[in-house]
Structure 1
Amino acid sequence: MKRTVIALSGLLYGLALAQAFPFTLEHEAGTLELAAPARRVVVLEYSFLDTLLALGVKPAGAAIGTQGGDRGPAPYLKPLLGGVNSIGSRAQPSLEAIVAAKPDLILADAFVHKDLIPQLQKVAPTAAFHSRRGSYDDLMQQVLDIGRALGKEQLARTLVADQASLLAKARSFANPRAGGLVAAVATPTSLTLHSSESFIGSLLERLGRKNLVKPQNGQSQFEVSLEGLVALNPPALVLFTAKDENPITRQWAKNPLWNNIEAVKRGRVWEFDRDLWTRSRGPLALKLIVAECIGSGLLADRTPSR
């Protein structure tokens, strides 16, 4: 009887899988059509890499190189990349390496790889998503779409449900009386604000911290000067920096204008690793980010420890 139940279960699973394919998906650069679940996937963004790994799939190739000044994947991803072939960097993927990987699916960024997509589509079926310019909702929808393309829809739904549950629990740590915040990437030469429609900006709002920055000219992320930051005068400031760089905010700290910002006067300036917080954007990264949101006192609006 037990064998019969197992056999029937396998048959029903097979029927469900058969019903899911052929698979069609409308994406940012057209329509993706797959006759069967993708098995050899090439990914050109870290969020797609994170998502595949969360789904238990090693990509056939990934843009994990450092060409063109790319910093490479965040540290949390590196131990998971054994056996994953580099096909160049996100900014400079190699078509030759992509062809050599023999993909049956390519995942590209609709903004970064816009000009490359027609060539990618000649190599293999290609789906383009707004990853770098996408919101939290966009990225969760991408988890579902990628899961369906891999024949792992149920696992993808579980991942998304787990993320929603995690965020709901994390919100209990948020201080409802906390003022708004500004979140920004600080490099040696610029400060780029992440609005309420960026991934990290929208995530912080879901966690109970109001983002004071709205999209500008249709851009979810945009640069601002010190004077522009002073004009916003946020009660809290969240900076995403790299440990091996000297961010522009170090220079600004010598300017009297910096000390007039409410967040600076209140001691509410947080710094986090930008490789994790703003470049990864997947289910694995999100768990780490939420843990840091709680542990750092950001959600509670507690003065960060130094």
Structure 2
Amino acid sequence: MKRTLTGLLALLGLALAQVQIQHELGTLTLNAPAKRVVVLEYSFLDTLLALGVNPAGAATGTQGGDRGVPPYLRPRAAGVPSIGSRAQPSLEAILAAKPEVILADAFVHKDLIPQLGRIAPVVAFQSRRGSFEDLNQQVLLIGRLVDKEAQARQILEDQERLLQKARAFANPKAPPVLLGVATPNSFTVHSNESFIGSLLERLGRKSLAKPQNNQSQYELSLEGLLALNPATLVLFTAPDETPIVRSWAKNPLWQRLEAVKRGRVYEFDRDNWTRGPLATRLILAELIDSGLLADQPPASRYAFKP
């Protein structure tokens, strides 16, 4: 009887310690919270660092066109081992990190997931293609994964208070905003279902672009941009690149844009506008400081300079 009772208590303890995570691939069940986690996306790195947890490895390299860990995360991520880049993670480096769980992007890493699964269980989320609410839900699930769910809830509660404060700056009569990432070779619109588009709508500014072909982000030409003709245009660029919009600005079509006529073309450093609770705090500050929420002319630091 004593042995049976001991066994039942042990089973009960195991059940209480179990962790279940629902994600894009199904449900992951662990017998205990994960202590060694490898992350293949910046939002996962941001979230773990916000929770006070250092990953066993992170995709912070610059291979495959990736720009490396965002500047705002560098001080916190200084001691985190790199396992390659998001575009080209190293299976050997991941194996050497001895992960208990690998956090992957369901879209970016879909072809790599079978190989990753032979190293450790994979939890896949929609990070780059996820909405603001998607990312918030991931904060809670990652918190549960590493036994920091209470801290995750507190982070989101604090974030909600900041959102309410930022919303007070929004001009409800302002026209819709078009958001786009400009690289040297492309201009990619982020719709109202993207992370930043849905966040902006939460703050009281409407996003002009809607999804196309079930994609929350898609490329647009200068002619396509003119067809939408936004009254407010937000450009996300990198400080060490010459984005395609610099050459577009020399085209007479550019001057026909309503946003150009109104003086409402804003430019932000895209490396600071990733995803996760730490990034969100920075984004909210820049949305207020730039004048974008209030539909004011961009502060000089955020004004697009062709």
Matches within 5 A, 1:112-261: 112-261=108-257
Residue 63 (1) aligns with residue 59 (2): yes
RMSD, aligned CA: 1.4
Post-superposition offset of 1:282: 0.6
Partner of 2:293: 299
Q: CA offsets per residue over residues 70-92 of structure 1, 9 Å max, x none?
A: 10011011111232100000000
The letter for the 2-side match of 1:133 is: R
Post-superposition offset of 1:58: 0.4
Partner of 1:25: 21
SS of the residue corresponding to residue 76 of structure 1 reads helix
Post-superposition offset of 1:18: 6.8
Q: CA offsets per residue over residues 92-127 of structure 1, 9 Å max, x none?
A: 001110010011111000001101111111211210
Post-superposition offset of 1:254: 1.0
The letter for the 1-side match of 2:243 is: P
Partner of 1:79: 75
Give the length in aligned residue pairs.
289
Asked if 1 retains the 8 angstrom alpha-carbon contact of 2:59 and 2:86, the reply is: yes
**What 5-or-longer segments of structure 2 have no aligned partner?**
1-12, 301-306
The letter for the 2-side match of 1:93 is: P
Q: CA offsets per residue over residues 24-60 of structure 1, 9 Å max, x none?
A: 2221123211110110110000000000000000000
**What 5-or-longer segments of structure 1 have no aligned partner?**
1-16
Q: Which segment is superposed worse, 200-209 or 26-35?
A: 26-35
Structure 2 length-normalised TM: 0.92
Partner of 1:109: 105
Cα distance in 2 for partners of 1:175, 1:290 equals: 15
The letter for the 2-side match of 1:283 is: P
SS of the residue corresponding to residue 123 of structure 1 reads coil
Q: CA offsets per residue over residues 192-229 of structure 1, 9 Å max, x none?
A: 00000000111111111100100000100000111111
Asked if 1 retains the 8 angstrom alpha-carbon contact of 2:289 and 2:299, the reply is: no
Post-superposition offset of 1:20: 5.0
1:286 maps to which of 280, 284, 302: 280
Post-superposition offset of 1:305: 2.5
Off by >4 Å, runs of 4+ in structure 1: 17-20
The letter for the 1-side match of 2:52 is: G
Structure 1 length-normalised TM: 0.92
Cα distance in 2 for partners of 1:20, 1:301 equals: 51
Cα distance in 1 for partners of 2:160, 2:91 equals: 37
Partner of 2:3: none
> Per the alignment, do residues 166 and 20 of structure 1 end up closer, same or farther by CA in structure 2, a change over 3 Å counting?
farther
The letter for the 2-side match of 1:301 is: D
